[in-house]
Structures are given as C-alpha cells and as structure tokens.
Amino acid sequence: MMRKFEAPKGKVIFQPGQDCPGFVTLSAGTIKVTLTGASGREVVLYRVRPGDVCLQTFSCLVEGNSYSAEGVAETDLEGDLVPAEDFQRRLAQDDAFRSRIMHSVASRFFEYQLLIEEVVLTSFDARLAKVLLRLADASGKVTATHAALASETASGRAYVSRRLSEFSRRGLVRQMADGVALLDRPALERIVADPR
C-alpha cells in the first residue's frame, strides 16, 4: 500500500549500507545521488526528479542489496512510497506500474551512458562550462563551492580551482566569496559546443 512521502531540503534520504525502505515516486522536488570514493572524492551520479527512477533504489529492491551511494534532498520533496514488501507484487501484477518503471530504468541507463561518454570523451573545460551554465541562476550567478563543482564534474577540487582561475583570467567568470558570476555566457556555450 502506498504511503505519503515528504522530506525537507538537505535531508539524507539514503546512505551507503542502509537497507531500502521502499520505492519513492516523486511528485515534487529533486534528490541528488552521489558516490564517495575511498579517497573522499565525491561524484554526482544523477538526480531523481518527478517521473525518474532512482537506480540505487531499484537495484536494492530487485537484488536485495543495501545502498552503495548517498541520496540527499536538493529541494523539499513530496511523493509516494511503495513499501519494499509491496514493490515486487506491484512490479509483477500492475502492468502500468511495471511499464512506467521499466521505461524510466531504460532512460536512466541512457543517462549513465552519456555521463560516461562525457567524463571519458569530453574535455574538462567543456564539462565545467556546462555545469556552470546549468547551475547559474537568472542573474548568471552560481552559488556552489569548488568542492561541489568538483562533484558535479567528476574531478578534484584543486583542479576545479585551477580551471576557474583560468576562466577568470580569460574574462569568462568572476570568482566571488559565495560563488561564481558568469561574465561571458556565449563564450562558455562555445566551450561546451566544442568538447575536445
């Protein structure tokens, strides 16, 4: 039986080693899913938004594993929770539920393929420019630490700092105490368009 699910921004939804309580379908909000290596370096795997499937949760429920990554509410969350004991039954008996889940899983695997291609085949500057453009607010400001940008670009904080300094030297951005201001959005878009 589905139950109402709500969580405030910043709440840890799941973390490594935790058993899965059930399958969440979001109606509002975003969950950021990250993986942290033994070195302490963190990478954003994906975000779960309304209509998306969390592969971590899907794997836990189908394989009986515990979580290996962390999910944090990036915004306030609303949705429904299908308890773990009901998930398999719904998957077997509810055609619409199963179809929606399988479609979302296929889409998520495609996103994983794009992530791998981006990390392996795209220059770091193109990845950084893409993240800056995506995270910028309407005024062109990115409120994110260098560590957060490193997590978004699957790199190290020191390297992000060096490349931001170069972007700043070239007049593309201005670094501030509380983030980064985009000064030349068209130039950043050109960097994204030429990913070599």
DSSP, residue by residue, 3-44: EEEEE-TT-EEE-TTPPP-EEEEEEE--EEEEEE-TTS-EEE
CA distance 184 to 196: 20
| pTM > 0.75 | no
CA distance 91 to 113: 25
Per-residue model confidence as pLDDT tens digits over 62-72: 888 899 999 99
Q: In the Cβ-directed half-sphere of 31, how many Cα atoms lie within 13 Å?
A: 29
152, pLDDT greater than 90: no
Per-residue model confidence as pLDDT tens digits over 100-110: 888 888 888 88
80, pLDDT greater than 90: yes
Which residue is associated with the tokens 């004991």? 85
